[in-house]
């Protein structure tokens, strides 16, 4: 056992392999229940004695199973006291770089205690690694027009404030903090970069498969809230929805999410129809002053180093396991292009010409990958001076290789966790440890120095690191396809 002191009290963790010290389930805020539900997070009240920090504990309320169960690992454990974080450190008495990971899950699922996010390998390499929970779905991102919005984002800010105030007691340097996240976690990272309340809480940022366009208007948020209330048979207020048992609320949100996917019409859902995520950060003008991409390219967030990138076949995760990739009408590719900003005649023809023999679904997946993931990342890198860009291109062996370099596949490489059984289905067979070594070390190097090991991205050079079985620098890769896109 090992012990240290936070501002709220002493915590007892444990020593794991190689002398690394691990602390699980440390609360950074009061449980968001009762009168505290739908309110901004409150710092944890001090406790007496020593608090055991050897178990992960509860996770935020969320659906128990997702459509991609078995491919995307998750951990769901009911309970009220879930605004917690976990710390792995190489040395309680050091002053190491700190990395804080924000999990993905479409702002509706996930937790910081998924096994693949184990921070021991980061600690092994001289980093204090922190993973966090935050409010999800209705509790974190539903907004009816009343009270304070974006509570899930404010939870993330509260966790970062805890890191600033306490991480020195775990051997971390509060003057060298990097936030990183994947999918909705990456979208959170880009959002935190422009939030006034997060200013000064971190110094570097890494965004994996998410950028700065995933935010919605208050009017769009109200459309979602109105429909959730309608399904529940209650008024669309936080008080009325909060009085409904959480299981019914989760079921209602799942139903409404399916309705959005079935009929993604702007008249019905506003901005939500574009991103197909029921819950996203709301541009309220105070907690979130504007669309993150707009603010970042206008200079807000300067001073924070950025590493951003995407996977070559992101959208295949959503189309291959279900078989939808083989049933997709030809028109879907054009619809994706129009929705995300490639509206020039010949867009689909160009993508098809570059992929001889590809089916209609494969072309649609490539266009969605670029429109929703790759192009927003490149726009952000171009507008945020000194950014670094990567692309993850190693193809999974799953589904006879058709899953490709899909969404979330890079996580096992970033965390150097290829041996985690939870990620085996996604990998689909043997995976190159050398690639995990390269990605993981680049993330560690960036956190320590601000330089991942290749030149920054500029409009003149468009240099990026392409991670694959054989990794290397590319310059303006697929320039003909990039030129087709503009901001929608």
User: Could you report the per-residue pLDDT of 146-181, keeping only the tens digit for each?
Assistant: 999 999 999 999 999 999 999 999 999 999 999 999
Residue 228 lies in a domain: yes
Average pLDDT over residues 291-295: 96
The set of residues, in sequence order, having a beta carbon less than 8 Å from that of 298 and lying 6+ positions away, is: none
Residues 52, 259: Cα–Cα separation, whole Å = 43
The yes-or-no verdict on residue 136 having pLDDT over 80 is: yes
Transcribe 233-254 into DSSP letters: TS-SSHHHHHTS-HHHHHHHHH
Residue 1 lies in a domain: no
Residue 233 lies in a domain: yes
Q: Catalytic: which of 30, 208, 293, 314?
A: 314
Q: In the chain, pLDDT over 70 holds for what percent of residues?
A: 99
User: Based on the structure, what is the number of domains in the chain?
Assistant: 1
Indicate if the alpha-carbon torsion angle 349, 351, 357, 360 is positive or negative: negative
Transcribe 32-95 into DSSP letters: --GGGTTS---BPPP-SSEEE--S-----S--S--TTTTTS-------S---EEEEEES-TTS-
The β-bridge partners of 310 are: 391
Residue 124 lies in a domain: no
Residues 446, 452: Cα–Cα separation, whole Å = 4
Residues 202, 13: Cα–Cα separation, whole Å = 25
Average pLDDT over residues 430-446: 98
Q: Catalytic: which of 209, 407, 440, 481?
A: 407
Confidence label for 486 from pLDDT (cuts 50, 70 and 90): confident
Q: What range does the domain containing 262 cover?
A: 218-275
Q: Catalytic: which of 111, 183, 188, 387?
A: 183
| 217 labelled catalytic | no
The yes-or-no verdict on residue 434 having pLDDT over 70 is: yes
Residue 242 lies in a domain: yes
Residue 436 lies in a domain: no
Residue 398 lies in a domain: no
DSSP 284: -
The yes-or-no verdict on residue 360 having pLDDT over 80 is: yes
The set of residues, in sequence order, having a beta carbon less than 8 Å from that of 438 and lying 6+ positions away, is: 467, 471
- Whether the pTM exceeds 0.95: the reply is yes
CA 452-453-456 angle, 5° bins: 75
Residue 264 lies in a domain: yes
| 314 labelled catalytic | yes
Average pLDDT over residues 444-450: 98
| 188 labelled catalytic | no
Instruction: Specify the range with the lowest mean pLDDT, choosing from 58-72, 203-217, 325-339, 362-376.
Output: 58-72
Does residue 350 sit in helix, strand or coil? helix
CA 325-330-334 angle, 5° bins: 105
- Report pLDDT for 67: 67
**What count of Cα atoms within 13 Å lies in the side-chain half-sphere of residue 361?**
16
DSSP 346: T
The yes-or-no verdict on residue 344 having pLDDT over 90 is: no
DSSP 282: B
The yes-or-no verdict on residue 487 having pLDDT over 90 is: no
């Amino acid at each position: 056992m090992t012990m240290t002191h936070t501002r709220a009290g002493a915590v007892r963790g444990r020593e794991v392999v190689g002398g690394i010290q691990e602390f699980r389930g440390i609360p950074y805020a009061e449980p968001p229940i009762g009168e505290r539900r739908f309110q901004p997070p409150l710092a944890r009240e001090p406790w007496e004695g020593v608090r055991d920090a050897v178990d992960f504990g509860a996770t935020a309320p969320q659906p128990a199973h997702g459509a991609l169960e078995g491919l995307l690992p998750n951990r769901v454990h009911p309970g009220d006291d879930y605004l917690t974080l976990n710390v792995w450190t190489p040395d309680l008495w050091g002053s190491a770089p700190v990395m804080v990971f924000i999990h993905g899950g479409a702002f509706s699922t996930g937790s910081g205690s998924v096994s693949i996010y184990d921070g021991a390998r980061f600690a092994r390499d001289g980093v204090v690694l922190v993973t966090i929970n935050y409010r999800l779905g209705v509790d974190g991102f539903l907004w009816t027009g009343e009270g304070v919005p974006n509570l899930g984002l404010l939870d993330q800010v509260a966790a970062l404030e805890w890191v600033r105030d306490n991480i020195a007691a775990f051997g971390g340097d509060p003057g060298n903090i990097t936030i990183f996240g994947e999918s909705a976690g990456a979208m959170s990272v880009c959002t935190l970069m422009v939030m006034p309340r997060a200013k000064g809480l971190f110094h570097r940022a890494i965004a994996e498969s998410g950028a700065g366009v995933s935010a919605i208007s208050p009017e769009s948020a109200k459309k979602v809230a109105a429909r959730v209330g309608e399904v529940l048979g209650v008024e669309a207020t936080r008080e009325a929805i909060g009085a409904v048992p959480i299981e019914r609320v989760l079921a209602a949100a799942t139903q409404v999410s399916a309705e959005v996917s079935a009929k993604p019409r702007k008249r019905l859902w506003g901005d939500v129809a574009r991103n197909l995520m029921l819950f996203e950060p709301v541009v309220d003008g105070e907690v979130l002053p504007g669309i993150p991409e707009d603010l970042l390219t206008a200079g807000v967030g300067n001073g924070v180093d950025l590493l951003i990138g995407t996977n070559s076949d992101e959208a295949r995760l959503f189309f291959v396991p279900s078989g939808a990739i083989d049933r997709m009408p030809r028109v879907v590719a054009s619809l994706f292009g129009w929705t995300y900003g490639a509206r020039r005649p010949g867009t689909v023809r160009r993508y098809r010409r570059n992929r001889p023999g590809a089916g209609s679904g494969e072309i649609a997946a490539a266009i969605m990958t670029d429109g929703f993931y790759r192009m927003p990342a490149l726009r952000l890198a171009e507008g945020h001076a000194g950014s670094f860009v990567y692309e993850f291109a190693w193809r999974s062996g799953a589904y006879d290789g058709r899953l490709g370099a899909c969404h979330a596949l890079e996580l096992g490489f970033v965390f150097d966790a290829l041996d985690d059984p939870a990620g085996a289905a996604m990998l689909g067979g043997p995976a190159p440890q050398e690639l995990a070594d390269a990605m993981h070390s680049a993330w560690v190097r960036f956190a320590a120095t601000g330089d991942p090991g290749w030149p920054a991205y500029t409009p003149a050079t468009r240099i990026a690191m392409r991670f694959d079985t054989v990794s290397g620098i590319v310059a303006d890769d697929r320039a003909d396809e990039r030129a087709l896109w503009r901001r929608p």
